[in-house]
Structure 1
């Protein structure tokens, strides 16, 4: 299949493109900066460019992974987010319908599920989040535009019969978090595998599963499976370390060897069970695998690169 992959120079794109090729697909990469997997340089916000790419390359399906992201809020205007994340998605959907495609995969984010109340940790229990959670009240322009783009995917699926899978991915970026403080980068990422992280490799594999099994319109949370149960949400909010220790008795000793700390409180947990049920996808790397690496001295099973620079930042700084 001839697949248009947007965001092909980005962190996900560099892992997703070779996996698509290994699966026998022909990949045409589109991004705003050059990259190993990028064939066309330009923005999805340019309707004429999108139409030309479809015409020149005989595109048969789209994986739309390109976007302005949360860290870009400090560098780009709200209008730029609307142009890229909303209008760009609309351009691709219209081109896919005009080309009579039967599938469209959209990379979304669990970030749009986090209201300001959840962000500030209100309430006495952690919030267990699956695809039925709502009402959705994104807390920034990034989340607002990604939610709007999901709505466009829903409309085009319903009105044009486009099989569309929306993948709300949890965190898989390699750089330091731009808001969290008090934990080292690797320590923070390890902790997040308990409730809101996955590897970029697993994120890429989820897209392949969605490409194979997309049917109708469905939204999927894509995250490492949490070791917890919904009945533990109150304890996770008040004393997460004790709950974690019940599941993993040697975790304190393993963490001590690295001078790492467990979270005192966990405020939200993403539940990816629907993706396993309907797509047959389950993330390979979870918190248990992180602890296995600590026990054996093997490399950590996730990427941590404080010096990673996104395509949007590279473009802005020349």
Structure 2
């Protein structure tokens, strides 16, 4: 298929474009800044840009990964988030329907599942999050606009028969977290693979699978498989390090040798089981892979780049 990939200059786009080509798809990249996978420079908020992309390139399917993200809140207005994340999604959906498409993959985020109460760590137990979690109360304009875009995908699937797969991806960015202060960098990313992270390579593979298997309208949480169960939720909140050590007895030693530490508390768990059941997708890299690298002294199985600059930041900085 000839696939329009939005966000092609971003972190995901640079991995997803070659994955799509490897399995035989032709990729047309669209982004607001240049990139190796980008053929069209422009904004999805501009309907004329979208229409020209479809008309000039014979687009047959869309993977919509372009968006303003949570860190962009400091640089862009709420209206910009609505223009890009909501209107941009509407433009793509309308163009896809007009072109007679039968599939559309939308990159969403687990961030929209996090209410302020969850963010503040309220409650005596960790929260188990899957596609049935609700009611959803996003805590910022990023989550609100992503949830609205999901609603548009649902509407177009119902009214036009467009097969839409919405992928609520957990964290896969390479830079440092901008809110967590006590654990940083590689240490944080390693522990997050237990409950709220996946690699960018696995994220790309999930999109390829969803493109091929999208049926009707479905929402999927995409995250590394967690070793935990619902029975662990109370203890994960109060004494996560002990729970982790039960599942992975050598984790404390391996972490200490690296100068890392295990988290004292885990407040949320993302359950990616639906994607495995319906799509046959299971992320390849998990916490066990991290421990394997630590044992063998081989490179860590995830990317960490504190100096990474996103396309939206590059645009904002001129």
TM-score normalized by the length of structure 2: 1.00
- 1:294 lines up with 2:299 in the alignment: no
Cα distance in 2 for residues equivalent to 1:294 and 1:282:
22
User: Which aligned pairs between 1:1-318 and structure 2 lie closer than 5 A?
Assistant: 1-318=1-318
Q: Helix, strand or coil: the match of 2:276?
A: helix
Query: 1:184 deviation in Å?
Result: 2.5
Q: Helix, strand or coil: the match of 1:221?
A: strand
Q: C-alpha deviations, 1:1-52, integer Å up to 9, x for none?
A: 1000000000000000000011111100000000000000000000011011
Q: C-alpha deviations, 1:173-224, integer Å up to 9, x for none?
A: 0001010101120001001001000000000000001001000000000000
Q: C-alpha deviations, 1:32-74, integer Å up to 9, x for none?
A: 0000000000000000110111000000000000000000000
Q: Helix, strand or coil: the match of 1:5?
A: strand
Cα distance in 2 for residues equivalent to 1:294 and 1:228:
21
Tell whether the 8 Å contact from 2:29 to 2:39 is kept in structure 1 after alignment. Answer: yes
Cα distance in 1 for residues equivalent to 2:124 and 2:24:
49
Q: C-alpha deviations, 1:152-184, integer Å up to 9, x for none?
A: 000000000000000000000000101010112
Tell whether the 8 Å contact from 2:177 to 2:184 is kept in structure 1 after alignment. Answer: no
Cα distance in 2 for residues equivalent to 1:267 and 1:149:
27
- CA-based RMSD: 0.4
Q: Helix, strand or coil: the match of 2:100?
A: coil
Q: Which runs of 4+ in 1 moved over 6 A?
A: none
Cα distance in 1 for residues equivalent to 2:317 and 2:106:
28
Structure 2: segments with no counterpart, 5+ residues: none
